[in-house]
């Protein structure tokens, strides 16, 4: 897959900056009340928040936490969705019916609301957040891979494999999945931006990552009370979030047009 360089560039700005800012000699949750609400300076490039914590260090850590959540969620949902969809499409019949009705049910909800309900009931935190964001995310992969599998099921090379005695498992693994995978990969890149946004929205609402772990959304929320006197608390995490999502969207467009053959 070709990746658009301009998008990658936007994505690299926050990543490289975060990597550099990680070297700042402050703890990301180190409270220093003497240094609270300091404007950006050489010592604190993005200023400090209401507890005197260094905004730059927190932003850098939050960027990587955010990306790690997105990557884990994409991996889980892509894996589960592809397996479910491939089995569903290849076997057909009652299994297909049950799995697809489950997918329909989950898609009847706005995905964000479902994730919100789950963290609301289970509590926030890193792994709960990943679970909540994965809960309905796999459905798009399932639909995608099911569609491909149904088409391939009737192909001659699959039938011939069956005739020479290949097991269903072997066929799915060696003849179906290689065709499903390129589409899944595109879908995975497509969904990254949405996951980053959903995660930071939940953290903004106070339901996602819990303090003292920094999150871009949570930092924007923290800064809202000081938006008049100390706008940097919200501004820099927001800017990083914006650049990450923009980078992902711009990288995707190329991927998207390549996937349009389906």
Tell me how far apart the alpha carbons of residues 76 and 100 are, in angstroms, rounded to a whole number. 19
Strand, coil or helix: what is 42?
coil
Does residue 105 sit in helix, strand or coil? helix
Within 10 angstroms of residue 125's Cβ, the number of other Cβ atoms is 14
Chain positions 95 to 154 lying near another protein, rule: CB under 8 A, are 104-106, 108-113, 116-118, 120-123
Question: Which residue from 11, 197, 209, 213 is in contact with another protein, where contact means CB under 8 A?
Answer: 197
Cα(50)–Cα(233) distance, integer angstroms: 8
Largest CA distance in the chain: 77
Closest to 28 measured CA to CA, from 44, 40, 10, 9: 44
The correct pick among 56, 238, 255, 259 for binding another protein (CB under 8 A) is: 238
Nearest-approach distance from CB 222 to another protein, in angstroms:
11
**Binding string, residues 19-58; x marks residues near another protein by CB under 8 A:** ----------------------------------------
205 counts as binding another protein under rule CB under 8 A: yes
By beta-carbon proximity to another protein, the closer residue of 96 and 222 is 222
Q: Phi, psi (5° rounding) for residue 125?
A: 105, 160
Tell me which residues touch another protein (CB under 8 A): 104-106, 108-113, 116-118, 120-123, 193, 197, 200-201, 204-207, 217, 220-221, 223-224, 227-228, 231, 234-235, 238-239, 241-242, 245-246, 249-250
């Amino acid at each position: 897959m070709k990746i658009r360089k301009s998008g990658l560039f936007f994505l690299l700005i926050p990543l490289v900056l975060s990597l550099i800012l990680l070297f700042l000699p402050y703890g990301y949750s180190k409270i220093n009340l003497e240094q609270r609400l300091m404007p950006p300076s050489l010592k604190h490039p993005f200023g400090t928040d209401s507890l005197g914590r260094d905004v730059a260090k927190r932003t850098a850590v939050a960027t990587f936490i955010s990306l790690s959540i997105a990557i884990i969620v994409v991996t889980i949902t892509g894996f589960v969705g592809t397996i479910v969809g491939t089995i569903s499409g290849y076997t057909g019949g009652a299994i297909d019916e049950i799995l697809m009705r489950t997918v329909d049910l989950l898609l009847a909800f706005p995905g964000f609301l479902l994730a919100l309900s789950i963290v609301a009931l289970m509590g926030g935190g890193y792994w709960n957040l990943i679970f909540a964001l994965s809960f309905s995310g796999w459905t798009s992969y399932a639909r995608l891979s099911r569609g491909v599998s149904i088409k391939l099921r009737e192909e001659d090379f699959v039938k011939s494999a069956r005739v020479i005695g290949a097991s269903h498992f072997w066929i799915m693994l060696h003849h179906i999945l290689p065709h499903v995978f390129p589409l899944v990969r595109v879908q995975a890149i497509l969904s990254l931006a949405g996951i980053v946004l959903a995660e930071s929205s939940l953290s903004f609402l106070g339901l996602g990552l819990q303090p003292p772990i920094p999150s871009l959304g949570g930092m924007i929320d923290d800064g809202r009370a000081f938006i008049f006197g100390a706008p940097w608390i919200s501004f820099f995490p927001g800017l990083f979030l914006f650049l990450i999502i923009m980078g992902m969207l711009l990288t995707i467009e190329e991927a998207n047009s390549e996937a349009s053959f389906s």
